[in-house]
Amino acid sequence: VDLNLFGAGMASVATTEIPTKVLCLTEAISADQLSDDEEYVEILEDMKDECSKFGTLINVVIPRLNQDGEEISGVGKVFLEYSDTGSCANAKNVLGGRKFGGNIVNAYYYPEDKYYNRDYSA
């Protein structure tokens, strides 16, 4: 079996998705965890520590309910903004399918325009 042949095939499949600079993680955290201030800070810390290993991490956004308990979009998601798509792709490869607090994390490229408009619903 020519493994290189397979490798090439897999690579072309992987690139059909258009990379962005923003990675969105889902399934990692629950709304309950976010409502606990201490836990929220720790989660933020864990994300920053781990996710800056893949490149220049510009910002981490973890939406949570505000003081009034008002419903906002994107609660439970984690947004990782990188300086370039390459770093973002690295992060996606490593973090997707990895466990965070026992949950298997899902990672996908998030539309940059929406992210910059603080639209976390996509």
Number of residues assigned to the chain: 122
Identify which of residues 41 and 65 has a Cβ nearer to another protein in the complex. Answer: 41
Q: CA-based angle 47:51:56, to the nearest 5?
A: 130
The answer to whether residue 42 forms part of the interface with another protein (CB under 8 A) is yes
Q: Does 46 bind another protein (CB under 8 A)?
A: yes
Verify binding: residue 43, another protein, rule CB under 8 A.
yes
Single out the residue of 40, 52, 61, 98 in contact with another protein (rule: CB under 8 A): 98
- Calpha distance 20→23 (Å, rounded): 7
Nearer to another protein, 41 or 72 (CB): 41
Q: Applying CB under 8 A, does 94 fall inside the site for another protein? A: yes
Q: Which amino acid is it at 22?
A: V
- 26, 96 in Cβ contact below 8 A? no
Question: Three-state SS across 82-104?
Answer: ECCHHHHHHHHHHHCCCEECCEE
Query: How many residues sit close enough to another protein to count as binding (CB under 8 A)?
Result: 17
Kindly list the residues in this chain that would bind another protein in the complex (CB under 8 A): 1, 3, 6-7, 10, 42-43, 46, 49-50, 94, 97-102
